[in-house]
Amino acid sequence: MQIERFYLGCLAHASYLVYDQGEAAVIDPQRDVTIYMERAAELGLKIRWIIETHLHADFVSGHLELARDTGATICIGAGSGATFAHRDLQDGDEISLGSAALRALSTPGHTEESTCIVALESGVPKAVFTGDTLFIGDVGRPDLSPTRTPEQLAAMLYDSLHQKVLTLPAETIVYPAHGAGSLCGRSMSDDASSTIARERRTNYALQPMTQDEFVQLLTGDLPPRPAYFQDEVARNRAGATPLEDLPAVPELEPDAVAKLQAKGAILLDTRPWAQFAAAHIPGSINIALAGQFASWAARMLGISGGQVVIVAEDQAAVLEARLRLARVGLESVAGSLAGGIMGWIDAGQPVAEVDQIPAAEVSEWLEADAQHRMLLDIRETSEYEHGAIPGAVNIPLPELQERLAGLNREMPTAVHCRGGYRSAIAASLLQAAGFKDVINVTGGYDAWALGHTTPACSV
């Protein structure tokens, strides 16, 4: 049996092609599925099975398109409520794969239908695909059920881990569905794989403890669940439209873009921050293609909202942005700005800019008039508590939009994160919301901390 891993850094998502004697299975596919078909063709494989370890909440799966194009059977844990043609996997079910087999372990806890898949050679476990049940260095978040509390799910997860997953042989290789940066856990490693023995030894959530202690550990400091997660689950339960069936992205002249913006369309500027800061369409939101673009777009814009117009450096960037947005289910793209920002400027349309200040100077800037200036730290609360710039106010970026009403739009506001990616999003949001004087802190907290003592802060 051979295993190949496909990793999508933008979503910190891992999927797998497992094959033996010409037969293959794809586990937890991403939305654009041609990569699996092309690799299978190169290897002379027939894709027989498509396996979902659970209904994913952070990305849209391409299981329907892959099944349509290959004739493979989609398998998912019993109780998923999936409305597409599929095979329910019960605990202990096995499906053949050449001379090998894949065995389902029902492991509820992250979700109620969560299932781990054990790869067997001659009846002996070789690897386990743990989905979002067990990560490298972490376990799945237990707050994705509409009917069960996080405490109930965490208790189920404890049992699944200790009664099922950790009973596998110590040398069994662990292949999770996500790595560092995913929203489905808190402290994942970016390693590609691990073993049961290593996770027993090093994973904080697998150290000796009672079920009650485990429940308290997982639910005591649970980060807020992104608002779009439930919409994503519903999309995957029904199955997504094939990418090729989505409408094309037309190029729109500046006047047409201005009219759409006036009607409520979101102008999503995907250019690097420096370009956006120098000149951008007033009211547009900057989420650069670099970094976790799709995840932040879904978190800040939602996936069931109004129309989006893409502003990009060139047509290749437009197509890349469209694909990444589709991977998280954000499909309502009305078009892209023809000619990019230069086309907008040449048409005589207004532009805005954002001031910047080096991190080394931000303390002096704040102290010069602390009563009438605000320094906004949009990192997560856990980051802020481990060290912060004195005088900074902490509002995590995912909470910023709903807390704008409590901020003074007339007050000069400098905003920072750890390195600059998130603060660029925040600065554009603040400016679009009507804040008069927005300043982005270049280099962020990390740059500031290089020359300062960083005491812990409490809130």
In 312-405 the beta strands, taken as DSSP E runs, fall at: 333-337, 355-358, 374-377, 393-394
Res 154: pLDDT: 97
d(CA 128, CA 376): 43
Mean pLDDT of 249-272: 97
Cβ-based burial of 250 (10 A; exposed 0-12, middle 13-18, buried ≥19): exposed
Q: Which CATH class is domain 246-346?
A: alpha beta
Place of tokens 């709903």: 402
d(CA 240, CA 258): 31
Amino acid at 173: I
* DSSP one-letter string for 259-319: HHHHTT-EEEE-S-HHHHHHSB-TT-EE--STTTHHHHHHHHH-SSSS-EEEE-SSHHHHH
Residue 458 has pLDDT above 50, yes or no: no
d(CA 396, CA 383): 10
Q: Let me know: does 355 contact 438? Beta carbons within 8 Å.
A: yes
Cβ-based burial of 286 (10 A; exposed 0-12, middle 13-18, buried ≥19): buried
Residue 398 has pLDDT above 50, yes or no: yes
* DSSP one-letter string for 346-368: HTT---B--EEEEHHHHHHHHHT
Res 455: pLDDT: 46
State percent of the chain over pLDDT 70.
98
Res 304: pLDDT: 79
Lowest mean pLDDT among 56-70, 75-89, 101-115, 210-224: 210-224
Res 456: pLDDT: 44
Cα 376 to Cα 122, 165, 283: the distances in Å are 58, 43, 20
Res 423: pLDDT: 96
Domain with CATH 3.40.250.10 in the chain: 246-346, 355-449
Residue 99 has pLDDT above 70, yes or no: yes
Res 91: pLDDT: 97
Residue 405 is given by DSSP the state G
Which CATH architecture fits 2-237? 4-Layer Sandwich (3.60)
Residue 459 has pLDDT above 60, yes or no: no
What would the pLDDT profile of 138-165 be if each residue is shown by its tens digit?
A: 999 999 888 899 999 999 999 999 999 9
Q: How many residues does the chain have?
A: 459
Cα torsion through 360, 362, 366, 367, rounded to 10? 10
Res 346: pLDDT: 97
Residue 77 is given by DSSP the state E
Which one is predicted more confidently, 27 or 223?
27
Cα torsion through 271, 272, 275, 281, rounded to 10? 40
Q: Let me know: does 132 contact 176? Beta carbons within 8 Å.
A: yes
Mean pLDDT of 89-103: 97
Domain with CATH 3.60.15.10 in the chain: 2-237
Burial letters 69-105, b for 16+ CB under 10 A, else e: bbebbbbbbebbebeeebeebeeebebebbebbbbbb
3-state secondary structure of 389: coil
Res 453: pLDDT: 58
Fold of 355-449: Oxidized Rhodanese; domain 1 (3.40.250)
Residue 263 has pLDDT above 70, yes or no: yes
Residue 187 has pLDDT above 90, yes or no: no
Strands 173-176 and 194-195: antiparallel
Mean pLDDT of 356-379: 94
